[in-house]
Amino acid sequence: MTLPNLPQAMSNAADYRPLIELKGYADAQDLVDFLSDSGFPVSNVRIIGTDLHTVEQVTRRKTNGRAALEGAASGAWFGLLLGLLLSLFVPGQAWFGMIVAAVIFTALWGALFGFLAHWSTRGKRDFASVKALEASGYEVQVTAEHLAEARRLARIDAV
């Protein structure tokens, strides 16, 4: 089935063949960039991540105080946006006071909600982290009709 309004390279109708397997995404990206610089029609290329797994990098310990501080910062940014919007409707020089009041008010509420949200977990997750999806390897694939040309440009022998 070919989806409407999608380029051929994004549909599954094309017959893709493996060109090479590489360890890192940067290597696969460099190869595709090289093919592009050589005038190869790169819309006939795709990079497939193999052996996918998630990696969660723990960045720091999270305490009730830290959660409150992060909530206050988030609230202050929202308050700045809200204060700027509301200050458009305030006559005279009171616009600055409107912005300051909105930042302070929302920072306090953000701190309260940040503290309560973390406190309610009762220590179940006392750390902050960043999750990423990673692959163990990357396979560069090319449509069957362009495979020989890609192998020639990349100097890859047929297997």
pLDDT tens for 66-85 read 999 999 999 999 999 999 99
Distance CA 46, CA 79 (A): 44
Angstrom CA distances, 113 to 34, 50, 70, 104, 143, stand at 51, 41, 10, 14, 53
pTM, rounded to two decimals: 0.57
Instruction: Pull the structure tokens for residue 100.
Output: 């300051």
Distance CA 156, CA 125 (A): 49
Distance CA 83, CA 24 (A): 47
Confidence label for 92 from pLDDT (cuts 50, 70 and 90): confident
Residue 130 has pLDDT above 70, yes or no: yes
